[in-house]
Amino acid sequence: MTKWIICGEEQIIGDGNPIIKHIDLDQEVVIVDGERLTEARAEQISEEIMEEVYKYYGMNFVARKLLS
């Protein structure tokens, strides 16, 4: 079974030897939590992951969109 992990615009297929390829979510269909993944949702997921990582290490998190 192939496991799909989505990180922004990169798709990591993990089975011991990960392959990283850039994907265009407008051209490819990726389903996450029963819904088609969009560029906006991929960005939101990455922000949520980073927020949890920062919390775990006791650091303050500032969303990237606020840094622009």
Local mean pLDDT, 10-residue blocks, the chain (68 residues): 49 62 80 83 85 90 69
| Per-residue pLDDT at 7 | 52
Count how many domains the chain has: 1
Gap between the Cα atoms of 60 and 52, Å rounded: 10
- Separate counts of helices (H) and strands (E) for the chain: 2, 5
Containing structural domain, residue 37: 3-67
| Burial of residue 8, with CB atoms counted within 10 A of its CB: 0-12 exposed, 13-18 middle, 19 or more buried | middle
Can you give the pTM of this predicted structure? 0.59
